[in-house]
Structure 1
């Protein structure tokens, strides 16, 4: 019985973190009305993670500017339930060129209950372009994003009124993936941050076992304010905005 309970909690913890990794990286973003250049506003957002209606941890996203057109996007999370724990981080280094987010390097690290994992992905723009996964595969680069920064473009597209989108990217396992995104509703949410109007979207995968919904707030330049994921009808995690600060 104890072993079965441990397995149940482990699946819940993994589902919660997978949920955050899929969508916890949208930035505060605005389109400069005087030019065609993408304008990113540095910020920090914090989130509370819930499972079984309990507070099981926290996550944060921080966007900072490194230099001319170069940025850093850092995601961290730490969740625990009873004797199980999971700590993760994703770090993207990228540039903005001609109104497009261009990946440079991506780092992923995971520790806690179960096997630890680390990954580094480098995007080379020389010649025809390559994606190099450290200790893994090498792919031709055809404009794919990394696991985080495709969501920066998503925020921009939502601000422009788009309702159906698709993205190709390299996930945190070093695999090529394709997701669709569809706007499904507009809702008023009550969050630890407070009440806020948000656009609800659904992530479209090839697999029908998982469903992911995310909410983005126009008043915060379409930053992520809530994330909820289900697997075969069972809720795996619910992530809600706690604080948001422009830097």
Structure 2
């Protein structure tokens, strides 16, 4: 049971951190600083609840910092992406990951060297390095681009992400519209589905609310049979 609980918590927070996406700004600048809070409920062999806080801010030097913090009983995860904008294009500089689950800790740092087109991961016991090309994102920076694309009215999305020593393609499609009730209120939302490999039992649906500047108002992910979690927006501050 202890191992199963740890697996559930890992899956819950890793996925929750992956999806709570920030605001799209006006046309003068691609992004607007914000703080967004979500509640998370896990439905499986055990019941868990927790919260996630996402924050986007810009430094005086012009660099951006996108942070996500999740916590629940016996677990916490922190992720951050430092990036810059060059000709309105997002270029990740450094990705950080820290996790503590049932006393077990793990951390990783991913550095993007655009001059030499290399990305290096300083992860415990398994460091890796690989070449990259223009447009490659880290494991959370691409979410900002997805948010923008949905706001533009695009219907299909594909992102190349440096993940685990490989370049992985993350694919999504618009899957319809739906009225969503969340702690922050009830809003019409655009439903986006992640496209996974044929035969995968995992499913991910994300709802973006146009009235909230296309903020994610809900996320629902099915990990496997009888195991799923839901994330709902409860507070949003500019």
What TM-score does the superposition give when structure 2 sets the normalisation length?
Answer: 0.89
Q: Is the 8 Å Cα contact of residues 110 and 118 (structure 1) preserved in structure 2?
A: yes
What is the alpha-carbon distance in structure 2 between the residues aligned to residue 18 and residue 42 of structure 1? Answer: 23
Please tell me whether residue 79 in structure 1 is matched to residue 72 in structure 2. yes
8 Å CA contact retained: 1:15, 1:236? no
The runs of 5 or more residues in structure 1 that have no matched partner are none
Residues 91 and 28 of structure 1, relative CA distance in 2, 3 Å threshold: same
**1 CA distance for matches of 2:55 and 2:17?**
14
> Secondary structure of the residue that 2:153 maps to in structure 1?
coil
Q: Following superposition of structure 1 onto structure 2, how do residues 227-242 of structure 1 map, counting pairs within 5 Å?
A: 227-242=219-234
Superposition pairs for residues 34-53 of structure 1, below 5 Å?
Answer: 38-52=29-43
Check conservation: 2:17, 2:52, Cα contact below 8 A. Answer: no
Tell me if the contact between 2:172 and 2:195 (Cα under 8 Å) persists in the aligned partners: yes
- Residue 19 of structure 2 is matched in structure 1 by 23
- Cα distance in 2 for partners of 1:117, 1:243 equals 29
The change in CA–CA distance for 1:210 and 1:66 in structure 2 (over 3 A counts) is: same
CA RMSD of aligned residues (A): 2.0
Q: 1:58 to 1:174 in 2, by over 3 A?
A: farther
Equivalents in 1 of 2:93, 2:106: separation in Å? 21
CA distance in 1 between partners of 2:230 and 2:62 (Å): 34
Distance in 2 (alpha carbons) for counterparts of 1:102 and 1:18: 23
Conserved in 1, the CA contact under 8 Å of 2:48 and 2:72?
A: no
How high is the TM-score relative to the length of structure 1? 0.86
Of 45, 53, 59 in structure 2, the residue corresponding to residue 66 of structure 1 is 59
Q: How many residues end up aligned between the 2 structures?
A: 231
In the alignment, is the contact (CA less than 8 A) between 1:12 and 1:237 conserved in 2?
no
